[in-house]
């Protein structure tokens, strides 16, 4: 462990603001490797604007989850130390989530994600922390993360019912003014962790460069049955079942599964903590 962690700042940031940013949590070279893998596997390149046209609403979420370069990031001990502070336990698994690549906005290209929750904030049984690693810099106005901290713990502002869509329930806060949202600028390698009660989304990318992130969250270990399923999916190169409805996420990733370190095997549930 090389990165000092201010435990109080982590706790108070998550409680008061709903999110924390850990600067330089991931070396730039490892972030660059994920961008290159997105290029080689999906032919979407940061420095090749003609390839951005492939990115639309549909493949805005890049179907790449099991690549070695993603595991090289998941296995970083610094990241595990941060997530252990968030959860108060080191016995964690990591999700096998994918990336997002948002080119500069034009009609027909992916737009901002509206403010939403991914989990019903009123469900008292649930507590999640979500996270992402910035693969590119996202200064203000360039497609980055935005949120409404004032609505986070404010149950009076949570709707009584939700909209249902073809793929599930959309948890959207109604009537949150622009002046209630803030945008969080990130640099390459920064880790953002947020409480699932925080309404969040993105801003439209009005810059001239794509914005890319790698979604990464750790969470307390699950059941032996869940471990068996995770390992089987990892070995088969397939996405977690709850992501397979997303365009491109029904594919089988080419090549053998990523080789996991001891830490990686614990994070997948192959070995106990």
Ligand X SMILES: O=C(O)CCC(=O)C(=O)O
Beta bridge partners of 131: 193
Nearer to ligand X (CB atom), residue 27 or residue 201: 201
> Which of 233, 255, 259, 235 has its CA nearest to residue 244?
233
Residue nearest to ligand X (CB): 145
102-161 positions binding ligand X, by CB under 6 A: 113, 118, 130, 132, 145
CB 214 within 8 Å of CB 99: yes
3-state secondary structure of 12: helix
Length of the chain: 273
For residue 26, how far is the Cα from the chain centroid? 14
**Contact status: 100 vs ligand X (CB under 6 A):** yes
- Least distance between ligand X and beta carbon 2 (Å): 26
What would the two tokens of residue 273 be? 């903590």
Of 11-19, 40-48, 169-177, 198-206, the segment contacting ligand X by CB under 6 A is 198-206
Pick 149 or 260: Cβ nearer ligand X: 149
- Site for ligand X, residues 199 to 218, rule: CB under 6 A: 200-202, 213, 215
Q: Output 66 or 143, the one with its CB closest to ligand X.
A: 143
Contact between 226 and ligand X by CB under 6 A: the answer reads no
Structure tokens at 34: 């994920």
Query: Which tokens go with 177?
Result: 């003014």
Binding residues for ligand X (CB under 6 A): 100, 113, 118, 130, 132, 145, 200-202, 213, 215
């Amino acid at each position: 462990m090389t990165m000092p962690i201010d435990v109080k700042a982590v706790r108070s940031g998550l409680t008061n603001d709903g999110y924390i940013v850990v600067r330089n949590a991931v070396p730039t070279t490892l972030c660059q490797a994920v961008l290159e893998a997105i290029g080689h596997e999906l032919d979407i390149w940061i420095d090749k604007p003609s390839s951005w046209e492939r990115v639309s609403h549909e493949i805005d979420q890049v179907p790449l989850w099991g690549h070695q370069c993603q595991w090289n990031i998941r296995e970083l001990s610094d990241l595990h130390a941060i997530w252990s502070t968030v959860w108060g336990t080191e016995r964690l698994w990591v999700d096998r989530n994918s990336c997002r690549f948002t080119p500069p906005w034009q009609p027909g290209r992916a737009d901002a994600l509206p403010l939403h929750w991914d989990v019903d904030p009123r469900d008292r049984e649930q507590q999640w922390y979500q996270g992402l690693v910035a693969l590119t810099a996202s200064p203000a106005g360039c497609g980055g993360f935005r949120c409404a901290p004032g609505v986070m713990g404010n149950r009076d502002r949570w709707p009584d019912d939700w909209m249902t869509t073809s793929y599930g329930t959309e948890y959207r806060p109604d009537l949150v003014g622009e002046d209630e949202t803030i945008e969080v600028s990130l640099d390459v390698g920064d880790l953002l962790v947020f409480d699932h009660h925080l309404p969040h989304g993105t801003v439209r990318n009005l810059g001239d460069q794509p914005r890319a992130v790698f979604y990464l969250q750790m969470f307390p270990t699950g059941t032996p049955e869940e471990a068996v399923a995770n390992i089987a999916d990892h070995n088969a190169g397939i996405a977690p079942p709850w992501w397979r409805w997303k365009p491109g996420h029904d594919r089988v990733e080419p090549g053998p599964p990523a080789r996991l370190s001891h830490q990686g095997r614990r994070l997948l549930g192959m070995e106990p903590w």
